[in-house]
Amino acid sequence: MRIATWNVNSIVPRLPRVLDWLEKTAPDVLCLQELKNTTEAFPAAEIEALGYEVAAYGLGRWNGVGIVSRVGLSEVVRGLPGEPQFDGAAEARAIGATCGGVRVWSVYVPNGREPANPHYQYKLEWLEALRSLVASEVAADRPFAVLGDFNVAPTDADVWDITLFAESTHVTKPEREALARLRDLGLSDVFPRPLKYDHPFTYWDYRAGNFPNNKGMRIDLVYGNAAFTGAVKDSYVDREARKGKGPSDHAPIVVDLDL
């Protein structure tokens, strides 16, 4: 089984690239983040024409998540139980489904903006709600993974120059501790196999030179339970999907499993 995750940074302008990537890479399951449209406006028909089922969750704001699968799509849940709101509004940042016997959650963790911003506290509260959800899911006797854009670099090696991030979100101790608490539930980080660089990144700002010079971050993650990670045969960051005209600023992570 091939499972992938990709922050597409707006599904509508990125749709031709997503369709082409689905045909070439042929994942069985693809978790999507940052759709930037509503559930109703998600381009389901175009993806379904390739043989996939679709579950999307979008509220038309700067978030939105989805799961597409060609190995079944059931037990769909939109949103986290007890998740916090920001400025009095819910945000579409998590969706779960069972695909081919594997339970997956596609997540788009809040950015946090900066440590002094209310959005940072919202991020920490959201991560705690995610932990509660994972605790309830991971106990089941089946492969389980939570995948997506976590907006946290787990270690200093996961950013191209840690000195530039000293006062920024994504690398603060509380954020990293929140990730550690997820792992403490029995999850492991499926670290992508380096294809070009010793330490693979998944996100590069659009500023000129950042991507070709690999000035990036590893903030897109795959956390799986023992049944999931024990079946992993290969995993990699598809840098090719970050190249060319009009790409997302993130690249997909692809995980191959022998189930």
Closest among 140, 132, 135, 161 to 228, alpha carbons compared: 140
Among the listed residues 149, 158, 220, 238, the single catalytic one is: 149
Q: Is 151 annotated as a binding residue?
A: yes
Closest among 173, 171, 79 to 126, alpha carbons compared: 79
Query: Domain with 60 in it: what CATH number?
Result: 3.60.10.10
Strands (E), the chain: 2-7, 29-33, 53-57, 65-69, 74-78, 94-99, 102-108, 144-149, 188-189, 203-204, 216-217, 220-224, 232-237, 253-257
| pTM confidence score | 0.97
3-class DSSP state for residue 97?
Answer: strand
Q: Is 167 annotated as a binding residue?
A: no
pLDDT (tens, 9 = 90+) of the chain, 259 residues, equals 999 999 999 999 999 999 999 999 999 999 999 999 999 999 999 999 999 999 999 998 789 999 999 999 999 999 999 999 999 998 999 999 999 999 999 999 999 999 999 999 999 999 999 999 999 999 888 999 999 999 999 999 999 999 998 779 999 999 999 999 999 999 999 999 988 888 899 999 999 899 999 999 999 999 999 999 999 999 999 999 999 999 999 999 999 999 9
Q: 130 φ, ψ to 5°?
A: -65, -40
Catalytic-residue membership of 161: no
Name the DSSP letter for residue 246.
Answer: S
Q: Is 83 annotated as a binding residue?
A: no
Catalytic-residue membership of 119: no
Q: Which residues span the domain enclosing 69?
A: 2-257
Can you tell me the distance from the alpha carbon of 213 to that of 192, in angstroms, rounded to the nearest whole number? 19
Q: Is 214 annotated as a binding residue?
A: no
Catalytic-residue membership of 250: yes
Total domains in the chain come to 1
Name the DSSP letter for residue 35.
Answer: -
Can you tell me the distance from the alpha carbon of 54 to that of 164, in angstroms, rounded to the nearest whole number? 39
Among the listed residues 52, 57, 108, 122, the single catalytic one is: 108
